[in-house]
Chain A
């Protein structure tokens, strides 16, 4: 019973957070709504007994991604968004229609209700996850490490200010 109540509260928090994040005009408020969404999702992971994933969600998303987004917003213009400009794109109506169509299609494709209704009773410890990370998934782990390094270097080079001398035309 408690589980059901927790599920409904957490899913309401997640959906409302996502909606506010997407619709809010003020970007800073939007990011905070996004953090609420991440927190709600982390609670849902806990409800599904994936406690390590919930912790990673809090650390990576609420901690790192949230701060990164805040910095990016503050480095660019029009934070408050109160300048009366249009905030939706041209053809936003068709965007909403397309999203609703995708939702209808996804709901239609749900597996039959009799399939897999019972939650399996296991308790995956973090130790087990670590062992899996070392035994069958070690190549994936290494590739991921490479990807993160490449992303770090790429982010630094992309965000670096390139000061090209405008006067002298360098032959490229």
Chain B
């Protein structure tokens, strides 16, 4: 396996996530599309680390660990926002949430 295999795989996964975020209407599906994109980026970090000149510095795993922690926080806040918006609009359909103020 070369670095290229991993990079191409990560690019494909990233674009699957991007496609989901662009094409779905449900806010929760968009949220987990973003998760797919974040995970593809993590795969890139680890792959670059394994094929780097001096992997004993552990830059890749450290960055990935921090990225995972931030992603976990993001999911928690994102889902809380989705639930708050659902309580207000009675839907999680992104196309019907097109106003910022109360009607």
Q: Do A and B bind each other?
A: yes
C-alpha spacing A60/B18, complex, angstroms? 22
Which of A60, A76, A94 contacts B28, CB < 8 Å? A76
Q: Are B22 and A27 in contact (CB under 8 A)?
A: no
Q: Are B80 and A103 in contact (CB under 8 A)?
A: no
The B interface is mostly helix, strand or loop, or mixed, namely helix
Q: For B18, B22, B51, B56, which residue has the most chain A Cβ atoms within 10 angstroms?
A: B22
Task: Using C-beta atoms within 8 Å of the partner chain, give the interface range for chain B.
Answer: 35 or more
Residues of chain A lying within 8 A (CB to CB) of residue B92? 76-77
Residues of chain A lying within 8 A (CB to CB) of residue B17? 18, 22
Residues of chain B lying within 8 A (CB to CB) of residue A38? 39
A38-53 residues at the B interface, CB under 8 angstroms: 38, 41, 44-45, 47-50, 52-53
Number of interface residues of A (CB under 8 A): 84
B15-66 residues at the A interface, CB under 8 angstroms: 15-20, 22-26, 28-29, 31-33, 35-36, 39, 42-43, 46-47, 49-56, 58, 60-62, 64-66
Known: A75-B86, A100-B15, A120-B55. A52 touches B22 (CB 8 A): no
Q: Are B77 and A110 in contact (CB under 8 A)?
A: no
Residues of chain B lying within 8 A (CB to CB) of residue A89? 22-25, 94-95
C-alpha spacing A11/B2, complex, angstroms? 14
Which of B22, B69, B71, B84 contacts A99, CB < 8 Å? B22
Which of B1, B12, B52, B66 contacts A116, CB < 8 Å? B52
Residues of chain A lying within 8 A (CB to CB) of residue B8? 107, 110
Chain A residues with a Cβ under 8 A of chain B = 3-4, 7, 11, 14-15, 18-19, 21-23, 27, 30-31, 34, 37-38, 41, 44-45, 47-50, 52-53, 56-57, 60-61, 64-65, 68-69, 71-73, 75-77, 86-90, 92, 94-96, 98-100, 102-103, 106-107, 110-111, 113, 115-120, 122, 124, 128-129, 132-133, 137, 140, 144, 147-148, 151-152, 154-156, 158-159, 161
Chain B min CB distance to A105 (Å): 9
The answer to the question of B73 belonging to the interface, with a C-beta cut-off of 8 Å to chain A, is yes
Which of B12, B22, B47, B51 contacts A117, CB < 8 Å? B51
Q: Are B80 and A140 in contact (CB under 8 A)?
A: no
